[in-house]
């Protein structure tokens, strides 16, 4: 059953703000029934702002979660809505500047209400550490510590960075006056563990041991569980990972490659895949476990997965060189020319891996992996830039078509998500080729912090059982 809600947004007066907000609401699956915009004259609202009053109608999606994501837009200052009969105003979450601990939070953590679970989510990247605080699935604050490359280099290894990253998190939370005893759990991004099924996993000694291995420790994602454990253990609270990149639910027919000794592996954006698939299934009024979906995560790596009844039965391993080429990766390419390059004597093993995983694709062709920069090149009549972007969309559409065959042509919906999904040209080129297979839904960006918190929340509420690694 659909319901109508009224929200009030304070936004910056800047070009395109109306389209960005309205487009975001529609992407979330809600319909706009009424929209009124007035320039602010309210005391304290400040110059250069307007108020939007919007009546929106939708079903099966929690309005508060939609508003959380709209608060991420840099043009939105605050959102007012009615919750439990009371008017609630929420302001844009705290974000940090360029250097570790360089800026202090502009707001303090509120006192936790009765019956609420408070969850800290941590997502380390190669040069940054993102973290966010949630009360249930409501965002309280978030922050990104951007780490200086020279300081990271001084650490020597990824694992040696954990002290610096942990200190950044705890210093910021202390300055925001968080009472750490109010935390109920900590969620960390999962790293390159051994293949496991989808789920919320308790961080235990075996997991931490595997994250210290040479294979897992090459990527900063290994620090997610390590940092979560180091923060949670002294507080006597549980720590979890949710749907790490190694989730493996592939059908056995998808494993063989044609070369004995080499099997296809399942390494993909499992956290975002699963979270967005669950969200759309809810909007469509069906359990995720009853849905047949194709999810395409469009980022620096592009992974396209066939979701059948709650399991990803096939997906390309972009890190290993499968699937479409991407802003930084080559994707699937003819093998024999690569063998010739490997034995030419011109490249080392490390250089070849770097060419395939970090310096391939759009970056190799155009010298940049920034989609917005490529769009500017196209706007300035660069025909080759247009060919590269359109070819990347073509290959992505072809991968979606392959996953339609995996699902025997029975597809409830196709989902386009990730950073590249903000590009109307890119998603439009994909839609043009695949929208006859199934309805196409676009969810720009990725909400991995909320996905981490929501997974842990299901466990804390008893809706799902945590799995032991």
Structure confidence by residue, pLDDT tens digits, 403-414:
999 999 999 999
- Element holding 444 (H helix, E strand): strand 440-444
pLDDT of amino acid 60: 44
pLDDT digits (tens, 9 = 90+) for 92-103: 654 444 444 445
Q: How far apart are CA 423 and CA 375, in angstroms?
A: 9
Kindly provide the residue ranges of all beta strands, DSSP E only, lying in 368-436, ordered along the sequence: 413-418
As to burial, measured by CB atoms within 10 angstroms (0-12 exposed, 13-18 middle, 19+ buried), residue 463 is exposed
Site of tokens 């029934």: 33
**Measured between alpha carbons, how far apart are the two ends of the chain, in Å?**
39
CATH of 118-248+449-468, one of 3.30.420.40, 3.30.930.10, 3.50.50.60, 1.10.10.10: 3.30.420.40
Task: For residue 53, count CB atoms less than 10 angstroms from its CB and return exposed for 0-12, middle for 13-18, buried for 19 or more.
Answer: middle
Residue 241's H or E segment, with its range, is strand 239-242
pLDDT number for residue 102: 41
Per-residue pLDDT of the chain (469 residues; tens, 9 = 90+): 556 778 888 888 766 677 777 777 766 667 788 888 877 654 444 446 788 888 887 654 556 666 666 777 767 888 887 766 667 777 765 444 444 444 567 678 999 999 999 999 999 887 789 999 999 989 999 888 888 877 887 888 888 999 999 999 999 999 999 999 999 999 998 888 899 999 999 999 999 999 988 677 777 888 999 999 999 999 999 999 999 989 999 999 999 999 999 999 998 999 999 999 999 999 999 999 999 999 999 998 999 999 999 999 999 998 889 999 999 999 999 999 999 999 999 999 999 999 998 899 999 999 999 898 999 999 999 999 999 999 999 999 999 999 999 999 999 999 999 989 999 999 999 999 999 999 999 999 877 899 999 999 999 999 999 999 9
Decide: 282 and 61 in contact? Cβ < 8 Å: yes
Q: Which ranges in 236-348 belong to alpha helices (H)?
A: 270-283, 335-342
Q: How confident is the model at residue 85, as a pLDDT?
A: 65
The two three-digit tokens of residue 437, written as one number: 């297979």
Q: What is the pLDDT of residue 27?
A: 62
Backbone φ, ψ for residue 414 (5° rounding)? -115, 135
Task: Assess whether the region 3-91 and the region 270-445 belong to the same CATH fold.
Answer: no
CA-closest candidate to residue 183, choices 144, 250, 228:
228
Contact of 190 with 451, CB cutoff 8 Å: no
DSSP H helices, 36-102, are 63-70
> Tell me, what's the pLDDT at 15?
63
Query: What is the C-alpha separation between 28 and 69, in angstroms, rounded?
Result: 9
CATH 3.40.50.410 fits 3-91, yes or no: no
Q: Any idea how long the chain is?
A: 469
Strands 76-83 and 86-91, sheet pairing: antiparallel
- Beta strand residue intervals within 283-435, DSSP E: 292-298, 302-308, 311-315, 413-418
The secondary structure of residue 462, as a DSSP letter, is T
Strands (E), 176-255: 185-188, 200-202, 239-242
270-445: in CATH 1.20.1050.10: no
Tell me the whole-structure pTM to 2 decimals.
0.72
Give me the pLDDT at residue 293, please: 98
> Could you state, in order of their start, the residue ranges of all structural domains in the chain?
3-91, 118-248+449-468, 270-445
The CB density around residue 332, as the number of other CB atoms within 10 Å, is 16
Q: How far is CA 175 from the centre of its chain?
A: 27
- Predicted pLDDT at 40: 61
By 3-state DSSP, what share of the chain in percent is helix, strand and coil, each rounded to 5?
A: 40, 25, 40
pLDDT of residue 66: 66
Pairing of strands 118-124, 86-91: unpaired
pLDDT (0 to 100) of residue 70 = 77
Sequence-distant (6+) residues with CB within 8 A of 235 are 180, 181, 183
SS3 229: helix
Task: Give residue 156's pLDDT.
Answer: 84
Other beta carbons within 10 angstroms of residue 4's beta carbon come to 12
* Token code pair at residue 38: 């007035």
Cα distance between residue 97 and residue 283, in whole Å: 36
């Amino acid at each position: 059953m659909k319901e109508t809600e009224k929200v009030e947004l304070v936004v910056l007066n800047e070009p395109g703000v109306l389209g960005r907000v309205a487009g975001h609401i529609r992407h979330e699956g809600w319909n706009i029934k009424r929209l009124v915009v007035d320039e602010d004259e309210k005391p304290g609202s400040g110059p250069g702002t307007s108020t939007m009053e919007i009546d929106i109608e939708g079903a099966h999606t929690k309005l508060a979660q939609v508003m959380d994501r709209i608060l991420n837009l840099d043009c939105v200052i605050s959102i007012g809505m009615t919750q439990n009969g009371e008017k609630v105003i929420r302001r844009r979450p705290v974000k940090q500047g360029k250097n570790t601990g360089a800026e202090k939070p502009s707001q303090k953590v509120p006192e936790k209400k009765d019956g609420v679970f408070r969850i800290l989510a941590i997502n380390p990247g190669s040069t940054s550490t993102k973290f966010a605080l949630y009360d249930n699935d409501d965002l309280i604050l978030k922050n990104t510590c951007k780490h200086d490359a020279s300081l990271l280099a001084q650490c020597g290894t990824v694992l040696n960075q954990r002290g610096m990253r942990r200190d950044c998190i705890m210093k910021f939370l202390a300055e925001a006056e968080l009472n750490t005893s109010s935390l109920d759990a900590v969620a960390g991004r999962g790293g390159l563990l051994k293949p496991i099924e989808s789920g919320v996993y308790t961080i235990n000694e075996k997991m931490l041991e595997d994250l210290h291995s040479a294979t897992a420790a090459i990527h900063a994602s290994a620090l997610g569980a390590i940092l979560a454990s180091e923060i949670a253990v002294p507080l006597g609270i549980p720590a979890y990972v949710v749907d790490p990149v190694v989730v493996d639910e592939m059908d056995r027919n998808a494993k063989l490659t044609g070369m004995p000794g080499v099997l296809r592996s399942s390494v993909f954006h499992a956290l975002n895949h699963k979270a967005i698939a669950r969200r759309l299934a809810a909007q469509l009024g069906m359990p995720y476990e009853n849905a047949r979906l194709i999810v395409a995560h469009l980022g620096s790596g592009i992974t396209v997965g066939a979701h059948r009844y709650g399991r990803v039965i096939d997906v390309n391993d972009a890190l290993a060189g499968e699937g479409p080429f991407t802003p930084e990766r080559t994707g699937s390419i003819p093998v024999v020319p690569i063998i010739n390059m490997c034995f030419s004597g011109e490249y080392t093993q490390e250089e070849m891996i770097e060419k395939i995983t970090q310096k391939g694709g759009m970056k190799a062709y155009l010298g940049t992996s920034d989609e917005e920069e490529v769009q500017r090149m196209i706007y300035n009549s660069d025909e080759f830039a247009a060919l590269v972007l359109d070819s990347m969309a073509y290959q992505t559409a072809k991968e979606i078509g392959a996953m339609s065959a995996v699902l025997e042509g029975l597809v409830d919906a196709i989902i386009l998500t990730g950073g590249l999904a903000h590009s109307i040209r890119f998603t439009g080129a994909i839609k043009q080729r695949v929208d006859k297979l199934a309805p196409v839904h676009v969810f720009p960006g990725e909400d991995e912090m909320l996905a981490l918190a929501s997974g842990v929340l299901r466990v804390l509420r008893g809706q799902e059982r945590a799995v032991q690694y």
